[in-house]
Each structure stands twice: as C-alpha cells, then as structure tokens.
Amino acid sequence: MGMTIVEKILARASGKASLKAGDVVEPRVDLAMSHENAALVINQFMEIYEGISRVPKIWDPSKVAIIFDHRVPAESPKTASNQKKIREFVAAHGIAKFHDIRGDVGGICHQILPENGYVRPGFVVVGTDSHTTSHGALGALSFGIGATEMASVWALGAALNVEVPGTIKVNVRGKFRKFVGPKDLILFLIGKISAEGANFKVLEFHGPVIQKMSTSGRLVICNMSVEAGATAGIVPADEETRRFLHDEAGVKGRINVVESDKDAVYEKTIDLDVSDLESQVACPHTVDNVKTVRQVKGTKVHQVVIGSCTNGRLEDLEVAARILKGKRVAQNTRMLVFPASARIYTQALEKGIIGEFMKAGAVIMNPGCGPCLGVHEGALGDGEIALSTTNRNFKGRMGNPNSEVFLCSPAVAAASAITGVITDPAKGAN
C-alpha cells in the first residue's frame, strides 16, 4: 500500500519501512523551535532532570532554534527577565540557531526558519507555537506542541507516542483573479470545512495553483492550516522549494524531496477551483466565520494591520504598497505594518516599499508578532474594529475583549486603509 508524504516522513524518522494512519511512532526530531515561551520549556526541562538528579543536557543543540518575536523589544520587566533567562540558557547549552532582538538577523520565527534554510523537505519539525504548521510549505512535517512536550524533545530528541495522522488531499486548480491569492484560498477552505474540519489530520495541498505558488504563498496556506484544526499543512517540495532554499535561504548542495505515492491512501479529497474566488474576510470571533469582501464591505475599520507570520513577507508588502502608492490612509484609521523579519524589512526599504507606506501615513513597526496576540502594542479601544492580515480573530485576541478583529489579505487590508471601511481591492480604492 502506498504512503502519503507524512507517512513517509514519519517512517524515516522512526526507522520503519512503512506506516499507515493510526500507527503510533516516536519520530526523531530534525528541528525543535521555540520563541519566548522557551522560558517555560527551560523550567520544565530543568524539572525533568532535577527529578532524576542528572545534569540537564539537550540531546543535540544544533537542532534547537530559539527566536524572540512575541514581545520584541520587551514590553515589561517580566518579559525582559524571561528573555534574559533564555539568553543565559542559550549560551550555556551552545544553541547556535538563536535569533535575538536584532535589526539584522531578527524576525518572526516562522520567517526566520525558512529564510535561514533551517527547514528542509522531509524534516520533522516541532515548535512551541501552533503556527509551526507554516513549515509544511517546504515539504516538511511541521507541527505545534506544548512547552512540556518540547522539554521532553530537548531531553530525548524524539516526540513520544505520536499517532500517525490521516491526510486530507486538497487539489486546487484554476487561476486567481487580480487581488485574490493564497490568503483568500485558505480562508475560503477554512470557511468551507470549519475550524475543526481537519482536526488531527494533515492537509496536503496539490494542483496547478499550488505548483505555481511561491514559497511565500505556500507559507500562508500552511500557516493557517491549523485554523481548520489540522495537525499540519504540507506542500510537496518541488523546483520552487529548491529555488527558494538555494537562492533565498542560501542552502548549498543537493536537496532531496519526499513525495506521496501514487496509491497513497487519503481520508478524503477536496477539489477547489479558484477562478471565481473573490477576496475573503474572516469575521469575528472565529476564523471559520468567512464571508466574501462584498458581504462585509463598508464596515468601519479603526486599525489596519499588515504583517505577521501569515502575511508579513515581501510579496505581501509589495501588493499592499502598490495599492497604497500615491494614496493616504483614511482619517481616523491607523495602519500598522510589521515586516516578518529584519531581512524583509531591509528588502522593503531598498525597494522603496517602506517609503510608500510612510508617505501614505502607515506606521512601520519592528519585525515581530506585534498586535496579533494582544501582548504589547497596537491594542484596540473598546468597540474598535481591526482589519488584519494575521491569522486569528478570537474574542480578545488583540488584547481587548470589547473589540473585533476581521482577517483578510494584504490587498484587502491596503484598499480598506485608504477608505477607512472594508473595501474590495478589485472595486475600491483604485
């Protein structure tokens, strides 16, 4: 019987010839990522070793990555102290893949990992962040875990007792209309199958639309796979993956890829045609409350956010800047831009994109998670509405339970920033 990509990756990582959904394995981990919540991982890791009176030792520090992004620079003494504790641990344990708060190599974990070539096709990647699903864009099996599970991975180098997930195949064909893209595709899919439509499953993306999609776009759809409950999203690695890793991530040498067998067994197949797809908006307070932009157009917007691990890449900023060029952000609407990494920030500067944003009245923030999870900047007032290219709109997500968050593509965000109300970029500001 044939295997899916994920079954193959898990079989290799657990030393088995073959596997099927439902089998239980203990895959060796190729990359273990944490952000500021490494402070909790460290606490749990120490507790493991205190209980057996041994010296704490990470199984392979070269496979651990720690990136500061959730609260950068620190918003409170507590966060600063957590970050300090992590720095000391990083130094003591020789963790080289550490990205501190820096204007050259810093950024959001889900951009730092791909752009530095830390993730390769066929890898097993775990991260103490639910959007670790992003890295499936490079043909890796990549999923989120809790801090205690990460402490266990640091100790043992394997994820324990993992049930091999079933896979849902998603075939995407057609051609995107102007201003419609990966974000609209994944929002549409989540709306269609619901916030738990892929619970405990893998979403494996195929079809001509995916083949033509850049790695940047693939990161968007894999990033948000978790919003349908998926354990992981994955795009089979191909020539585009090799191009990205060689040309953008500086990876040298041969890159092997893993593909599903022709007779692989899927739980189900979903066929989508994007030719008629309109811009999509996820309305408060669940990500699967998805409508077309036409259905919600005219909704007043107080804060527009462009950025995050979902849509803070150069491609996203370029789309938004093209729409904003020569225009101004509406009165009584504020626009915040968060490039996903220092590298992207620099590229956007060099291309004049940052200048366009500033001329339009947008505020450029340093790379990081920003207001997405409501921890330290870009808070909303009571009754205010944010339109954001981020990935979650749960009640209170941006820090105030008496506010609302709508999710959209960079094109919808930019067009709406100009008018101050939710606007279809195909009809609106231009």
Quote the tokens at residue 24.
């239980």
Query: Shortest distance, CB of residue 258 to other proteins, whole angstroms?
Result: 20
Contacts of 183 (CB under 8 A, 6+ apart): 220, 224, 280, 310, 311, 389, 408, 409, 410
Query: Shortest distance, CB of residue 192 to other proteins, whole angstroms?
Result: 16
Query: Shortest distance, CB of residue 356 to other proteins, whole angstroms?
Result: 31
Helix or strand or coil: residue 398? coil
160 is a site residue for other proteins (CB under 8 A):
yes
Helices H / strands E in the chain, number of each: 15, 18
Query: Shortest distance, CB of residue 205 to other proteins, whole angstroms?
Result: 19
Please identify, using beta-carbon distances, which residue of 101 and 373 lies nearer to other proteins. Answer: 373
The length of the chain is 430
Rounded CA-CA distance 238/218 in Å is 12
Please identify, using beta-carbon distances, which residue of 151 and 237 lies nearer to other proteins. Answer: 151
Is residue 6 within 8 A of residue 141, CB to CB? The reply is: yes
Cis peptide upstream of residue 165 (ω within 30 degrees of 0): no
Tokens 């849509």 belong to 311
Helix or strand or coil: residue 221? helix
264 is a site residue for other proteins (CB under 8 A):
no
Give helix 314-324 / helix 342-350 axis angle, nearest 10°: 40
CA angle (120 as vertex; 118, 123 as ends), nearest 5? 105
DSSP class of 193: H
Please, which of residues 113-132 interact with other proteins by CB under 8 A?
128-130, 132
Instruction: Name the residue type at position 65.
Output: A
Please identify, using beta-carbon distances, which residue of 197 and 428 lies nearer to other proteins. Answer: 197
361 is a site residue for other proteins (CB under 8 A):
no
Please, which of residues 278-317 interact with other proteins by CB under 8 A?
286
Site string for other proteins, 79-98 (x = CB under 8 A): x--x----------------
By rule CB under 8 A, what count of residues binds other proteins? 59
Rounded CA-CA distance 17/125 in Å is 20
Rounded CA-CA distance 64/118 in Å is 10
43 is a site residue for other proteins (CB under 8 A):
yes
3-state helix, strand, coil in the chain (%, to 5): 35, 20, 45
Quote the tokens at residue 192.
């269609």
The correct pick among 18, 62, 199, 269 for binding other proteins (CB under 8 A) is: 199
Please identify, using beta-carbon distances, which residue of 78 and 427 lies nearer to other proteins. Answer: 78
The correct pick among 10, 138, 147, 249 for binding other proteins (CB under 8 A) is: 147
Q: Pairing mode, if any, of strands 24-25 and 124-127?
A: unpaired
Query: Shortest distance, CB of residue 183 to other proteins, whole angstroms?
Result: 18
Query: Shortest distance, CB of residue 132 to other proteins, whole angstroms?
Result: 8
390 is a site residue for other proteins (CB under 8 A):
no
Q: Which stretch binds other proteins (CB under 8 A): 261-269, 302-310, 335-343, 396-404?
A: 396-404
Rounded CA-CA distance 164/52 in Å is 31
Please identify, using beta-carbon distances, which residue of 343 and 397 lies nearer to other proteins. Answer: 397
Q: Is the dihedral of CA 344, 170, 183, 185 positive or negative?
A: positive
Q: Which stretch binds other proteins (CB under 8 A): 3-11, 290-298, 299-307, 390-398?
A: 390-398
Quote the tokens at residue 188.
């549409």
The correct pick among 157, 284, 361, 420 for binding other proteins (CB under 8 A) is: 157
51 is a site residue for other proteins (CB under 8 A):
yes
Q: Which stretch binds other proteins (CB under 8 A): 106-114, 161-169, 239-247, 414-422?
A: 161-169
Helix or strand or coil: residue 244? helix
Please identify, using beta-carbon distances, which residue of 26 and 278 lies nearer to other proteins. Answer: 26
Please identify, using beta-carbon distances, which residue of 39 and 172 lies nearer to other proteins. Answer: 39
The phi and psi torsions of 395 (rounded to 5 degrees) equal -55, 125
Please identify, using beta-carbon distances, which residue of 148 and 292 lies nearer to other proteins. Answer: 148
Please identify, using beta-carbon distances, which residue of 287 and 337 lies nearer to other proteins. Answer: 287
Number of Cβ within a 10 Å radius of residue 264: 19
396 is a site residue for other proteins (CB under 8 A):
yes
Among 59, 64, 62, 63, which residue's Cα sits nearest to residue 155?
59
Please identify, using beta-carbon distances, which residue of 155 and 429 lies nearer to other proteins. Answer: 155
Q: Which residues bind other proteins (CB under 8 A)?
A: 24, 26, 28, 36-37, 39-40, 43-44, 47-48, 51-52, 54, 59, 70-71, 76, 78-79, 82, 128-130, 132, 144-149, 151-152, 155-158, 160-163, 195-196, 199-200, 229, 231, 286, 373-376, 392, 394-397, 399, 401
